[in-house]
Structure 1
Amino acid sequence: MKLALPLIALGLLASCITSEKFDLDRAYARCETIKTVTVRDRCIADAVAESERRRQIEAQRDVQREADAEARELGRVIAGAEQD
């Protein structure tokens, strides 16, 4: 279990970096056809902000899932100790 947490954290970090690059590429692709520079810049800024919000929500969900998994594991350990 102690080894699993650092591996999960490393995987999460790698996926965030990959996801961020993908989100930026998608934002630029969506907004590059806009001819007005200020409107295009605003479009990109909005897309980047939205992708950041999504990443933060997903990170919160990952933390919650990890906490839930740890609570379940602790519950199993306690249940096993009570049966002995």
Structure 2
Amino acid sequence: MEVHNPLIPAGYDIAWSSVAILTFVLLIVALVSLVRTARRLTGTQALLWTAIILFVPVVGPLCWMLIGRRAAAPPSGSA
């Protein structure tokens, strides 16, 4: 008979906890990035990106990191 210790989490508990932590970290990184580039966005754009990042769990932050930051970046030819 195998004895299971309830204090040691199962493998799937560890995996899902890791996914949740990574999702939270991605959310925080995207929000910090948005705040740093917000002065190059209009108020409406910043509010819309904030809502997308917060309410669309993984896709929202990824869209900001891949699309939004580039759109908010200053032109590369400016000096």
TM over 0.5: no
Structure number with bigger Rg: 1
TM-score relative to the length of structure 2 = 0.43
With structure 1 as the length reference, what TM-score do the two structures score?
Answer: 0.41
Greater percentage in helix: 1
